[in-house]
Amino acid sequence: MTDLSDVAALDATDQAALVRAGEVTATELVQAAIDRAEAVNGELNAIIHPRYERALEEAAAVSGDAPFAGVPFVLKDLDGTAAGEPLHAGTRFLKDHGYVATTDSELTTRFRDAGLIVIGRTNTPELGLVTTTEPLSHGPSRNPWDPTRSTGGSSGGSAAATAAGIVPMAHAGDGGGSIRIPAAECGLVGLKPTRGRSSLGPELGEAWAGLVTRLAVTHTVRDTAAILDAVAGPGVGDPYWAPPPARPYAAEVGADPGSLRIGWVAQPPDGSFVTDPQVEAATEATATLLESLGHRVEQAYPSSFDDPGHVANFLVTYSAWVARELDHLAELVGAPLTEDGFEPGTWAIAEGGRAVTASAYLAALDGLHAMTRATVAWWEVDGFDLLLTPTIPELPPTLGQFGATPDNPLAGVFRSTPIVTFTAPFNITGQPGISLPLHQSAEGLPIGVQLVSAPAREDVLIRIAAQLEQAAPWADRRPQVWTGAR
């Protein structure tokens, strides 16, 4: 195959098939991705640590039948390490110290074992703490659909690279919506797996008391299923893990989901803000589509969402986690923390966390566990199969809205709060959730909708997501910044 002009339009499954069939070499596939990155990354600022020469060396050595052998990929500059590669986690502190990771995360190893060729690491907000990718350390990533708008966070660089067609899918992580929010803002599929489905080892047993999980953003449901199959399962010594599926997740793509009982909500239950009318309409249209597909759909949601107490509990634990993360960075580089190494918001959150007593932390964690039990009962006791919500309650925001200053250090956190309304509860409960790019706004911007299943039921999510993908396809949509043939 000599013409690679339209390979950007292929998902990872199809790109891997080209390599297996001998129609293209892994080297040609990776070089094409590098060429695409060099064409648009200056505008998008998605890849901040390119490793093009190493990627080509690795592509030349590709052999075997790994599911994604020779497929170009990017790793997020957070949520895991790659030995010998820079890790800045969005901070000036690690950047100024020139920190280079010494080990591979288990997930990094599994991505490589799946045959993926890493061409670089992608931009992320500082420690993934806000819902936009605009770190002071590396500057903003820009949305391929409209470069004046945010890519979401914290996997915003990965989402931008994937949405623009540089790579067919990319590493992502989610502690409050950081897979699903960038997927929604960039028109991608984003699955947050259930707690314990993917390993955080060997550097961590858990992150944020189990709220953080990791996977990828993709263009298609089948790629999401296949990459989950490739990386799922515990690592050595993990403190807990999700029960294995009855069969491979790839087998769920195209499987009949049956007639499911689905609740939906479009407005925030606490009434703290109003969902954008276009997002509300998209959510309602999805509910109507699901009903037309034979599902039993009603306006309903877990009553635990009406309790504001979980927000206070989350803020207590969140600040303590951030304080510990900063201490961990100091341990990595062997140097004391400096206030000028971090953004004002990060430093203020950590200072608050240092004032949290062990007793207060554990009490807040107990509160989050109580919220989890009350929420999961909606599925396990009340008998619902899925909850449908907006992924985010607004269109992708314009850049520049999240900046923190010494006078207002928490501005970014407060601006992020409404954006995580529908995503963060399921980091607390540990349930899997998926964002699907089913709709577009009048301006041509992506609108994502979220579906959430019972714990450990990614199989149900993949079945319903594949059904929706077939009923309302999104594969032919192209953003303003696109690296392939239109």
Write the DSSP string, 46-69: -EEEE-HHHHHHHHHT--S--TTT
Assigned token pair, 364: 């807040």
Model confidence at 1, in pLDDT bands (50, 70, 90)?
A: very low
Q: Is the pLDDT of residue 168 over 60?
A: yes
The CA distances from residue 148 to 143, 398, 480, in Å, are 7, 6, 11
Q: CA-to-CA distance for 430 and 456, rounded, in angstroms? A: 9
Q: CA-to-CA distance for 196 and 423, rounded, in angstroms? A: 18
pLDDT in tens, 65-92: 899 999 999 999 999 999 999 999 999 9
Instruction: Give the mean model confidence (pLDDT) for residues 146-164.
Output: 98
Torsion angle (degrees, nearest 10) of CA 137, 480, 418, 195: -80
pLDDT in tens, 255-264: 999 999 999 9
Sorted by where each begins, the domain ranges of the chain are 7-471
Q: Is the pLDDT of residue 2 over 60?
A: no
Q: CA-to-CA distance for 387 and 396, rounded, in angstroms? A: 22
The CA distances from residue 121 to 89, 124, 204, in Å, are 10, 10, 20
Q: What CATH number matches the domain at 7-471, 3.90.1300.10, 2.40.30.10, 3.30.750.24, 3.90.550.10? A: 3.90.1300.10
- The neighbouring-strand residues paired with 216 are 171
Return mean pLDDT, the chain: 97
Q: CA-to-CA distance for 20 and 461, rounded, in angstroms? A: 29
Torsion angle (degrees, nearest 10) of CA 348, 424, 222, 395: -80
Q: Is the pLDDT of residue 307 over 90?
A: no
Per the listing, tokens 């949405």 go with: 163
Asked whether the CA dihedral 135, 138, 139, 142 is positive or negative, the reply is negative
Q: CA-to-CA distance for 325 and 151, rounded, in angstroms? A: 24
CA atoms within 13 A on the CB side of 421: 24
Catalytic residues: 76, 154, 178
Model confidence at 10, in pLDDT bands (50, 70, 90)?
A: very high
Look at 63 and 112; give whichever has higher pLDDT: 112
- Listed residue (72, 57, 60) closest to 16, CA to CA: 72
